[in-house]
Amino acid sequence: MPGRHAGRARLVVGSLVATGALLAGAGTAVLTLPAGAATDAVRGVLGGSTGAAPLALVLGGASDGDPGARDDAASRSGSRTPVEVVVPPVESHETLLSADPPVLALPPDLTLVDVASGLLSADVPERGAGTFTVVPGSDPGPGTGTVRTIRVEVEDGLAIDGAKFAQTVMATLNDPRGWGADGSLSFARTDGDAELRVVLASPDTVDVLCAPLDTGGQVSCGTNGRATLNLRRWVHATQETTGDKAAYRQYLVNHEVGHLLGHRHESCPGPGQLAPLMQQQSYKAAPCLPNPWPFPNP
């Protein structure tokens, strides 16, 4: 049956031509198929996909390599059948790449919580520049009760995001468990003159600013209107609080500002109880439990 086999050959060739046109991005492809086989052939090539851009296919006629078939097709030119077929869109390589979620590369040995506190590096230089930069900007805080103004400063030469450090300080001071828990006090940040200063400094600079108190390059102090926070403690916290460095940083801010508000050191009331905020938890909270708040249960 030579005629039947030739028809099948034309069907296969037409399918390949159409498929090639589609992959090349052509808007229209011509298939040389008998009209009666149009629908089944198109579905066979394209898989019956729906929900994408339509493609017009003109079916019927013959391939350029078969003159006899062209003559035969001419006698049946009235039976050509235009068929609209839906072709699934193909995403470009660039589109696929742009769909990937962004990847955040953290500095070595730091977590997202560390970065949120302003840390850009886990390194602790023993000595910074000895000069300070005031974090620009202001934060009015909740404005309740007596408002105490705060200025936040960072020693030059430290790998610190000043804005994030300042946000951590203010969020801590104005927390409902903080010094203004009863609504009698709140804190507002300014980059101008202020009643209180919160300073982040290298260990050696802390020793200079806190003298005659003995901080030994390890701890912080709150004196002379300035809460001086030790970078070593801001990065590493303590052995008791390494599992929750954010809580220790809250303790550090609240404890040293507490001194500026007139509060003195307290002792652990008993094993298993929350440590008073004004206990020297940088040395040891035990047998009490670490606690970063003056009013942990507002």
What mean pLDDT is predicted for residues 113-125? Answer: 97
pLDDT band at 269 (very low <50, low <70, confident <90, very high): very high
| Higher pLDDT among residues 61 and 257, named by residue | 257
> Residue 105: what pLDDT?
86
Total residues belonging to the chain: 298
Per residue in 130-144, pLDDT (tens digit) is 999 999 999 999 999
Average predicted confidence (pLDDT) for the chain:
79
Q: Using alpha carbons, select from 200, 223, 217, 293 the residue that is nearest to residue 255.
A: 293
pLDDT band at 86 (very low <50, low <70, confident <90, very high): low
pLDDT band at 88 (very low <50, low <70, confident <90, very high): low
Q: Is the pLDDT of residue 122 over 50?
A: yes
Amino acid at 242: T
Burial (0-12, 13-18, 19+ Cβ within 10 Å), 254: buried
Which residues, at least 6 apart from 185, have a Cβ–Cβ distance to it below 8 Å? 144, 145, 146, 147, 148, 179
Domains of the chain by range and CATH? 2-94 (no CATH), 112-260 (3.40.390)
Which range is least confidently modeled, 75-89, 182-196, 210-224? 75-89
Q: What percent of the chain has pLDDT over 90?
A: 63
Q: From the CB of residue 42, how many other CB atoms can be counted at a distance below 10 Å?
A: 23
- pTM (2 decimals)? 0.67
